[in-house]
Amino acid sequence: MDQKEERNWGTYVHLGGILGTIIIPTVGNIVLVLVLWLIKRNESKFVDEQGKEAINFQITISLVGAALSIIGNITSGLWSLSHIFWHSRGDYFDFSWGWHSLHPILWVINIIFSIIAAVKANEGISYKNTL
């Protein structure tokens, strides 16, 4: 594999997280990056490094998204319980801070860091996401 093709595949691997999220919102970011990485990892050390970085970043993004969902569901449940038990007295607690509203921010973070990594990979620079 020549250097230009290595750079292109490094770019594709990083952009796969964005495209995968659009295709399958829940796990597409991991699946597409994993598929692209597995296809070309043995042909180039650079693509292998960038694939590992991209898959680790996408797994981190997915874990943070899952944590936000869990926290959001717990706080919504607590808000519901407090509303049921304390509403008659007029002093109920509002636990539902809006954790689910942080998902779009996480998606924007994914886009920004994936594009930065893709640009660096296209320049032939090994990029390490440090989120």
- Write the pLDDT tens digit of every residue in 78-99: 666 666 665 555 555 555 566 6
| Residue 108 placed within a domain | yes
Q: Which residues contact 107 (CB under 8 A, 6 or more apart)?
A: 21
Residue closest to 11 by CA, chosen among 54, 55, 44:
54
pTM equals: 0.83
| Residue 50 placed within a domain | yes
3-state secondary structure of 97: coil
Looking at residue 99, the DSSP 8-state letter turns out to be G
| Residue 131 placed within a domain | no
Domain count, the chain: 1
Residue closest to 7 by CA, chosen among 114, 128, 113, 121:
121
| Residue 127 placed within a domain | no
pLDDT tens, position by position, 42-71 = 999 999 999 999 999 999 999 999 998 888
The answer to whether 60 and 18 are in contact (CB under 8 A) is: no
Residue with token string 């090994």: 126
| Residue 85 placed within a domain | yes
Q: For residue 6, what pLDDT band results from cuts at 50, 70 and 90? A: very high
| Residue 129 placed within a domain | no
pLDDT tens, position by position, 106-124 = 999 999 999 999 999 999 9
| Residue 87 placed within a domain | yes
Report pLDDT for 117: 95
Parent domain of 109: 3-122
Distance between CA atoms of residues 65 and 131, nearest Å: 14
Report pLDDT for 96: 54
| Residue 97 placed within a domain | yes
Distance between CA atoms of residues 68 and 89, nearest Å: 31
Q: For residue 131, what pLDDT band results from cuts at 50, 70 and 90? A: low
Kindly report the backbone phi and psi dihedral angles of residue 69, in degrees, each rounded to the nearest multiple of 5, phi listed first: -65, -45
The answer to whether 73 and 35 are in contact (CB under 8 A) is: no
